[in-house]
Amino acid sequence: MMQPSEHFRTCHLCEAMCGVVITHQDGSVLTVKGDKQDPFSRGHVCPKAVALKDLQEDPDRLRGPVRRTATGWEPISWDEAFDLVTRSLLAIRKQYGGNAIGIYAGNPTVHNTSALMFMAPFIHALGARQRFSATSIDQLPAMLAALKMMGHQMLLAIPDLDRTDYFLCIGGNPAASNGSLLSAGNIMGRLRSMQQRGGKLVVVDPRRTETAEKADRHVPIRPGRDALMLAAMLQTIFAHGWERPGRLLNMLNGWDELKAAVAEFTPEKVTMLTGIPAQVIFELAHEFSHAPHAVAYGRVGACTQSLGGVTLWLIQALNIVTGNLDREGGAMFTHPAIDLVGMGIEPGGFARFHSRVKGLPEFGGEFPVTTLADEILTPGDGQIRALVTHAGNPVLSAPGGVRMDEALASLDFMVSMDIYINETTRHAHVILPPSGPLEHGHFDLIFNMLAVRNVVRYSPPMLPLPAGQKHDWQILFELIVRLGGQTRSQRLRLRALQRVIERLGMEGVLDLMLRAGPYGTRVKALTALQDFLAGRALAEQAESLLKNKAPGFWRGLRSSSLMSSKQQGLSMARLRQAPHGLDLGPLMPAFPERLQTRSGCIELAPEIYLQDMQRVRQMLDTVEPRSLVMIGRRHLRSNNSWMHNSYRLVKGPDRCTLMIHPEDAAHYGLGEGQMVRVSTVTGQVELPAEISDAMMPGVVSMPHGFGHHRLGVQLQVAAAHAGVSINDVIDANSVDTLSGVAVLNGVPVEIMALN
């Protein structure tokens, strides 16, 4: 028996990037604790961290490929699996074309380094024209605002929490999420520090959330009305001369247009619709505009509503008008060690083409997932007949879950890259499971771009890859070779590149990207690799990479970088010498150099938002019948649907409840714990009532990610805590008409008490 060892790692189970120290022995995890030497999280860790052990050691986790048969799931070899997948997808592509193949990437994809790296070339090789991801049920409006205002979908402004004096949190609950589009180890500790130095935390939300409980002020708002409140705050600021754009003024286009767009939205006009007294809106505008440093931040509740697009635009407009964009203590931009924006990754696009059935706009080449079932079930040219999923569970995470179930069951062929047989993958014909969470290295490509400080860390594998198992990138690359090589010559080039990358491993590729980044030695021989990882011209770039003779590129890369302690600049060698990570410093002003707009200016009033303000104006004259509306909610011990098979995370009181205000409960004759039927135009579910004055009257709340009762799911713990899926009663036809994002909040519902 070996002695216990310590392994330092970044927890990848949410966006916070907390450092953990894992004690392990003979392949088993003994403890998971916060790493006090981590410069970012400084020892903080949330309850989810234990799931690193539970996911790794879960007996329900698949360890090898399986094929669905009439009598159940059958283990098959990797060669058999790759042959079956290749043969099936190529046949469908040949008969029906690329439009007949779809792909869906779930939330865990962005938490996996190698999957992120090779997803674009895989999509290119697959020839999939119909692409979907969790983006359109989460943060799409924030990325759209970044694209339209800053010129790049990844130029997301991050609250400078450690230096702000006023944090306005709209539709976010970082006490449960640990921060989202806002990576901050121990985010609630950072907010406490802000309050201790005299700062103020204000939460705008229909529910008195866990974050609102800690806030200096909670402002309840009717769901879906955030745009009205924000427009009224901006109108108040302009009307009283409180605007102060400062140095941004010379970088702005659209000042007068924005001012005109919000001119009629006085606090008095929006009071009845928002449920917020006019005096409160006035006070918020005054406090925000007069704070030494302030930042407005909006998350899932602000994004996933009928006015999600315009809401996220107005949030950034508020930061800009008050001079709090690209300014210490405001909303700032990161300078990550691997800078995807600086590397020339595509800025993204919007509405360049539209979905076949509903005519919804693409964003970044993807269609809203609300139309995935339509594209599968609607006959005609371009109907999806084959689907590839990676680490996603749209049956539970996307609106219209029952119809999604029906759609997936009708496919000619489906392949899933996933570690579980869950509500979605049970429909697959083949499942290709990647390595366990502690068997591969980890580097946060995305979340370092969203962090409140510039930090960097690499976590090597804690455990060796077991025989017969493969990493995500190995699975993806094998399929790239088989699907992307149209000719024998192309296949040979891709196969040769595969052998090179196998020899280097992910560490070698990361090393090159680090040394080409802002803290590295600025290696110039990166263009071919960038093009390959972006999915451009696979075979041609493979040949370019193989022929490259630049010093320290492919040949000799391992010896010159990975093994050298004298390497100048940031490299894998330096990261290996810093197992707790490196602090690269606070956020710094980035504009105008980092702006990516064609004009070279911040576009304060893009035309798409000015046009959409007409929908907001129409609300001013609308008299709506008083009815119940529903919002979602998250929990600290959960992350969507993919951690419910950990008993330590799901044990305790039932969390799949309908939270309802006491006045509403009395009106409907509901008692605590009583079963209640929730009905919408889409369907109905039944769950216990949880009576709480944390809810705004007229608003009820259901959690997201449950519904593990479906036949064929092989998740023992999750099935024992099945709950019901909120998405079974959310209409997939309800979207923000500007952005295409799903409307998950402000959903009209009817309820009935059950005996």
Give pLDDT, residue 314: 98
CA separation for the pair 88, 103 (Å, rounded): 15
Residue type, 213: E
> In the chain, what are the domains?
160-333+594-614 (3.40.228.10), 625-753 (2.40.40.20)
pLDDT of residue 222: 97
Alpha-carbon separation of residue 45 from 19, 50, 642, 650 (angstroms): 8, 10, 19, 18
Maximum C-alpha span of the chain: 76
Counting every residue written for the chain, the total comes to 755
Q: Find out whether the peptide bond into 592 is cis, omega within 30 degrees of 0.
A: yes
- In this predicted model, what pLDDT tens digit does every residue of 255-306 receive, in sequence order? 999 999 999 999 999 999 999 999 999 999 999 999 999 999 999 999 999 9
SS3 readout for 616-643:
HHHHHCCCCCCCCEEEEECCCCCCCCCC
Rounded Cα distance, 644 and 707, in Å: 10
255 phi and psi, to 5 degrees?
A: -60, -50
d(CA 475, CA 389): 13
Q: What is the DSSP letter of 486?
A: -
CB 472 within 8 A of CB 115: yes
Low-confidence ranges of the chain (pLDDT < 70): 522-528, 539, 541, 545-568, 624-625
Q: How far apart are CA 493 and CA 527, in angstroms?
A: 18
Amino acid at 742: A
| DSSP letter, residue 183 | B
- Collapsing DSSP states into helix, strand and coil, what is residue 327? coil
Q: For residues 650 and 564, what is the distance between their CA atoms, to the nearest angstrom?
A: 46
**In angstroms, rounded to a whole number, what is the distance separating the alpha carbons of residues 144 and 82?**
37
Q: What is the pLDDT of residues 151-197, one digit of tens each?
A: 999 999 999 999 999 999 999 999 999 999 999 999 999 999 999 99
pLDDT score recorded for residue 639 = 86
Which pLDDT score, from 0 to 100, does residue 523 have? Answer: 58
